[in-house]
Amino acid sequence: MESINLIESFSAFKEVKNIDRATLMSVIENVFRSMLIKKYGSDENFDIIVNPDRGDIEIWQNREIVDDEFAEDSFDYDEGKHIGLAEALKIEADFKIGEEVTTPVKLDDFGRRAVLAVRQNLISKILELEKDSLYKKYKEKIGELMTGEVHQIWKKELLILDEDGNELLLPKSEQISSDFYKKGDSIRAVIQRVEMKNNTPVIILSRSSTAFLERLFELEVPEVFDGLITIKKIVREPGERAKVAVESYDDRIDPVGACVGMKGSRIHGIVRELRNENIDVINYTSNTSLFITRALSPAKITSVKIDDEKKRAEVFLKPDQVSLAIGKGGHNIKLAGKLTGYEIDVYRDTDIDTEDVDLEEFADEIESWVLDALKNIGCDTAKSVLELSTEELVKRTDLEEVTVNEVKAILQSEFEEG
């Protein structure tokens, strides 16, 4: 018996992805039944057998044997349902009237145009099914961690292939600023969203979202994965700093210690994945004052004044702690505000020094960008700069050592003259 070979007629039939076997077989059968209805007016007396493993399909026609006179003269004779006895005897010599004959249907019987039409119809429906299946598959996985391979590197995005060869996108805006990948590299990201563009699913990945950091904690910290430790909130400046508030309902578990691990073993794995992003793990508390104090870590707070109505907090610190509280580029205080939901104002906890001088007074001697760099770390007066060592200033401002020394010399001379 000759079968309709789909490997030859329908390219890549066996390469179909994301479609389960039952659905695929049903689609193929429906396409061929439509072709049978067009040719014979009905598909009731046809059996269709799909062999997905071999990539072929068999069509069998079942017809009732009638006497030759009926076949020639009766208006009720239907060549799709009936076959004359003389023709039936050519198939098998002992057939009798009333019995059923089953014969294979050849692809050539439909004609070249019909074959081309059914091929196009089938390919179109399978592609449509693949797209729909891919969309549903990843729509259900939003927020999950995935590992893929970098396939193409473009200016605004990376093309990633998953384990099934599906194409995913990692836009530049969803990457960490220090991310660098080569073609063939393995990459981890979280599934951010799934969109339909021009009837094609577009899967967007992210490494800069808070969900990515949360999944990494679940991966590295078993207590988080098991639900023994709850991540209450995460805030990030991707590639720079992140703050994670954690809580445990079991008094025997130290949530911060469990997340950090012995000698930092757990947190180091996450930090490496995030390109050395600084991660502060903080014990969550409903005590607002205490939570703000913890959020400003590593700075040590002297006191906090809360205005719940305006959602503002005044934080008082020793002068040498101000730059720590603000952090490089202001990241620490900005993230602390996002984590706690309060706008935080920092004040020095010292008596007012009438002899101190505002940095703006030195605008004619020190360039504005240097003054801005100092203000960004909380140094807005001459003495607040002089209280910090040259090494500390270089580290926190990214200014050259020679520049810092020149600034300190200018500021020191002001007090010496006084």
Helices (H) and strands (E) in the chain, counts: 16, 16
- If pLDDT is split at 50, 70 and 90, which confidence band does 10 have? very low
Mean pLDDT rounded to a whole number for the chain: 85
Structural contact between residues 388 and 323, judged by C-beta atoms closer than 8 angstroms: yes
CA distances from 265 to 230, 242, 248, 252, 284 (A): 20, 18, 20, 20, 22
Distance CA 330, CA 229 (A): 29
Average pLDDT over residues 21-35: 79
Amino acid at 118: V
pLDDT digits (tens, 9 = 90+) for 232-281: 999 999 999 999 999 998 889 999 999 999 989 999 999 999 999 999 99
Q: Across residues 348-368, what is the average pLDDT?
A: 74
- Single-letter residue type at 219: L
Domain locations in the chain? 4-136, 141-206, 359-417
18 Rama class: left (phi>0) / alpha (psi -120 to 50) / beta: left
Highest mean pLDDT among 2-11, 22-31, 315-324: 315-324
The answer, yes or no, to whether residue 2 has pLDDT greater than 50, is no
Asked if CATH classification 1.10.1740 holds for the domain at 4-136, the reply, yes or no, is: no
Predicted pLDDT of residue 142: 95
CATH C-level class of 141-206? mainly beta
So what's the pLDDT on residue 11? 40
Band of the pLDDT at 307, cuts 50, 70, 90?
A: very high
Query: Are 363 and 269 within 8 A, CB to CB?
Result: no
Across the range 103-108, mean pLDDT stands at 79
Confirm whether 4-136 and 141-206 share one CATH topology: no
Are 20 and 4 spatial neighbours (Cβ–Cβ below 8 Å)? no
3-state secondary structure of 2: coil
* Mean predicted confidence (pLDDT) in 14-32: 71
